[in-house]
Amino acid sequence: MKKIFVFIFLLTLNCLAFSQQIEAYNIFNAKSQKITINKMLKNLEKADIILFGEYHNNPISHWLEYEVANYLINKKKKIVLGAEMFEADNQDILNRYLNFEIDDKAFDTLARLWPNYKTDYSPLVLLAKRTKTKFIATNIPRRYAAMVHKGGFEALDSLSKEEKQWMADLPIEYEAELPGYKAMLNMKMGHGSENLPKAQAIKDASMAYFINKHLDKNHIFLHINGAYHSNNYEGIYWYLKRINPELNIITITTISQTKTNKLEKENQGIADFTICVNENMTATY
C-alpha cells in the first residue's frame, strides 16, 4: 500500500512538472527580455499610436487587444480605436452602429464585415460602443487594392475624386526596397507579381493616412492590424514616420513558436513588444 502511495505521489509530481512547462504565451520587450503584461500596459500609456500586429485567427491576439483597450480606457486615457478590418468607405455605417442608430442585423448587412467579426472583433467594437470611443475604419476598400494588384498604382488614376477620398493621397511614396515588400515577392505570396507589394503598400499608406487624420490631440490611437503591416517598423509604421517623424509609435507583434519561454532568432527585434504564442493554440478559424 505504501509503495502504491509513493508511486502515485511521484506520478503526480511528474505531471505537475510537465504542466508547468506548458505556457499559452509570453511577452517580450524589444531586447527579447521576458516581461509581464502589466509592464507592457504601463509602457503603452506613453504612446501617441499603438500598432497592434495580430494573427487574424489567434485568440490570444484578440484577447490582448481587448485588454489593452480596456486598460487604457479604465486608466482614464483618451483613446481612439481603429482597425484594418474595416474599410474607409464603411465609416458612416460604423458610426451609425456605434451611435445606436442601426442594430446588429443592419450593421452586418450594410458593412463589409470579415467572416470572423463576431468572434474576434465584435468585443472590441462593443467596448467602443459602450464607452463612446471613436472607432476608425482605416483600410482602403479592397476593390481598390485589387486594382493596384492587377494594374499597379496607375490603375487608381481612373478613379473619381469621391472614390479617392477612401485612400491615402495620391501618388503615394513607395519604397520597393523595404525588406517586407521584397520578401513578399520572394515568398511568392498570392501570384507573386511585382504589383503585389504595391497593393500592400497602398493598404499601409491608407491606414497610416487615416490614423494620422484621426489622431486627436492628447489621445492614444490604438490600431489593430495584421502583424505583417507593422513588423520590423515597416508598413504602416514607415508611412506614419514619413508623415510625422516626431510621433511616438509603439509596435506590438504576434508570433508563434513551439516553446514560448525564449524568442527564436528570426523573431527577435521585430517590434517593441512581442507576444509569443504556443503554436498549439487553438485558432478561431
pLDDT digits (tens, 9 = 90+) for 112-167: 999 999 999 999 999 999 999 999 999 999 999 999 999 999 999 999 999 999 99
pLDDT tens-digit readout, 222-234: 999 999 999 999 9
Beta pairing partners, 222: 50, 81
Q: Could you tell me the domains of the chain?
A: 24-278 (3.40.50.11550)
Mean pLDDT per 10-residue interval, the chain, length 285 residues = 44 48 94 97 97 97 98 95 98 98 98 97 98 98 97 97 97 96 76 86 98 95 98 98 98 97 97 98 94
Phi, psi of 137 (to 5 degrees): -85, 110
| 8 A C-beta contact, residue 121 and residue 97 | no
pLDDT of 5: 41
pLDDT at residue 192, as a whole number: 56
Q: What's the pLDDT at 21?
A: 72
C-alpha–C-alpha distance, residues 147 and 87, integer Å? 15
pLDDT at 185: 85
Give the pairing of strands 249-257 and 135-139.
Answer: unpaired
Q: List Cα–Cα distances, 68 to 43, 137, 210, 221, 266, in angstroms.
A: 11, 19, 21, 12, 26
What cell numbers appear for 179 in the block?
525588406
